[in-house]
Every structure is written in structure tokens, then in C-alpha cells.
Structure 1
């Protein structure tokens, strides 16, 4: 389980295809602290560490993951948001994040607002995912509060710290992002669908 509080970023230094899978080599300051078989969220996608070498480590994404997330678009040099699982005795500063991306969204607008940034996203509403005003959303692994919530989109405000310490600083209009919708909202929606 994760909280959506990004620990650090990593840089993609290797992308190797093997049949329908892709192995990503990531360079990060947390690499020496990782263990083989450990789960780490990469842009919000929970992946298992398969190899570690000094400041670099490797994870593998299967075809299903590549189809449902933006990981298939990663290339050498890209920044990726990283979060290790929350320790049982740690603070829970974000919200409950599973590391299971529901779908991708698209950046439709980026506005600088005197020291902060307003990002607006759209997503395909046919999947049944919903946001609520002032509810939680996980974007590329980052726990955020959404507003201007509508059937196919929402906005978030990004403070300077988050902008500088995540890959939000590289996002531009047209880019895709990983979206994990609030787990409580997903359960409520499922229960309401059963009543229909």
C-alpha cells in the first residue's frame, strides 16, 4: 500500500523489450536501499524490483500494465515519480493508494498562477470512474485534491514543492498521466450500481 506522497524521482536509463514485457532500468538515490522482490510505485504503478546495481535497479512491466498505463511511453532520460510502500509505523500523509492504475488521463491545460500551477485533466468516462469535488485523486503516483470535478475531467493545484520534486515540472498539454481513483469512491460506486 502507498500514500501518494512521492519520495523522490528516478531517471529511466534503460528500456529493454522482451517479448510482450518491458524491463526498465531506473537510476535513483533510493536504489541502494531497495531489496529484490520489493514493491515500488513508479508513476503510481506498483512494480517489483528484480535487480539492483549500485545507484540503479530494474523493474518489469507486463503487457497488461503497458496497455493501461503511460509506462509504455517511457524512454531513456524520462523522470519517473517513486514511492516505496508505507511502513506500518509510518505517517499516512496522503490517501490510500494501491498502486493499481485505473486508466490514463490527458493533460488539457497547464496554467501558471503566481507561484503555483493549475493542471486540468480529461479522461474517458465510459470506464465508470468518477471524481468528487475536493476528493482525492492519484496522478502519476501523487496524492492530490481535485476540484472542478465533472464527468470526464477535473483540475488540481500544484504547489511549488510538489512541482519541483515530481515529474509535474515536465508535464505539458497533450501528455498522458496515470490515474488511480479514490478506493472509497470506487466501492461506493460499485455498491450503487448493484442497486440499479
Structure 2
């Protein structure tokens, strides 16, 4: 990692402005703070860190940008044998982009949506993901950062533009 590189912190793409052997610093705009859960997290909270993928890197299954769309609240956490179910209530304007078997990031963790209703969505977390991310420390009521499936957003925008061109 070098100064100027991108670093996702709980799914929020930030630019590294200062770097030491043990710390990285980044600037944040008011827009970032308004759209994210960072202000709700106490100092010392566990966060997920991920470097940006190089253009020639391997995709792991989901296309994510590190540009969160907003937040959601954890409604329930339910063990299910070796898995753990999380139910998340996103802001209403985000739910339209959440589809069953589509991708979603929760605090930067790329996941597959298991089910969706008019109010919430569910994801099922495997033991490896629980052990390697900050989900292990999450509680009911916690605010999380969400990035919805980017393909749906692009399709919607193109259809809106196409509709205005032909009206």
C-alpha cells in the first residue's frame, strides 16, 4: 500500500493520505459521513479493510465499487447450524436495488442476497466469513454500510434516459 492508493474501510472507498507501518490515514468528506455508518461507530470498533483490486485481478464473483449507497439496520441475527442469518432493513430508496440471488455488500463484505421483502433482506453467513470480518462483533440495532448491485442502478439510469429521449 502507498499514499494515494484506495482502501475500503467498511466498504467505503477512501484514499490513503498518510501511511506508517501500523496505521493508514484518509480524509473524509461530509458526503461520506452522511451516507455511512462511520459516525455511529465508537472509536476502536472492528472494521473491514480491503485494498482495491487491480484491473488485471481476479473477480471473486460480485462486482462492487466500494462506493456505498447508504446504510441499513440489523434487525435480527439468527444461528442456523453452521451458518448465521442476518436480516437487514435498508433505507427504502435502496431496497429497490436488492434482489434475491443478487449481490449486496454489508460493511464492504460482498454477499449474496437470500431473500427480499418490501421492508428488509436476508443474507446467510458462512463460518469463514464470520471469523474473518467484523460481522462477528455486530449486534441487533447496529448500523451497517450497504452497497447495492451496481448493474441494476445502471440499467435503471439507461432506461430513464431512453424514456426521456423517446417521449
> How far apart, CA to CA, are the structure 1 residues paired with 2:130 and 2:6?
25
Q: 1:176: which partner in 2?
A: 143
Is the Cα contact below 8 Å between 2:94 and 2:148 reproduced in 1? Answer: no
| Structure in which a larger fraction of residues adopt strand | 1
Is the Cα contact below 8 Å between 1:42 and 1:83 reproduced in 2? Answer: yes
Which deviates the most, 147-156 or 172-181?
A: 147-156
Shift of 1:75: 2.6
| 2:62 maps to 1:95 | yes
Output the TM-score relative to the length of structure 2. 0.90
Output the TM-score relative to the length of structure 1. 0.78
Q: 1:84: which partner in 2?
A: 51
Q: 2:134: which partner in 1?
A: 167
Q: 2:5: which partner in 1?
A: 38
Number of positions where the alignment pairs a residue of Structure 1 with one of Structure 2: 163
**CA 1:45 to 1:129, structure 2 compared with 1: closer, same or farther past 3 Å?**
farther
Is the Cα contact below 8 Å between 2:6 and 2:51 reproduced in 1? Answer: yes
| 2:20 maps to 1:49 | no
Where in structure 2 are there 5+ consecutive unaligned residues? none
Is the Cα contact below 8 Å between 2:35 and 2:71 reproduced in 1? Answer: yes
Task: Note the alpha carbon deviations across 1:111-164, whole angstroms, 9 max, x for none.
Answer: 011111000001121457421111111111011000221233210000000001
Shift of 1:76: 2.3
| 2:71 maps to 1:104 | yes
Where in structure 1 are there 5+ consecutive unaligned residues? 1-33
**C-alpha RMSD of matched pairs (Å):** 1.7
> How far apart, CA to CA, are the structure 2 residues paired with 1:39 and 1:158?
26
| 2:143 maps to 1:145 | no
**CA 1:113 to 1:162, structure 2 compared with 1: closer, same or farther past 3 Å?**
same
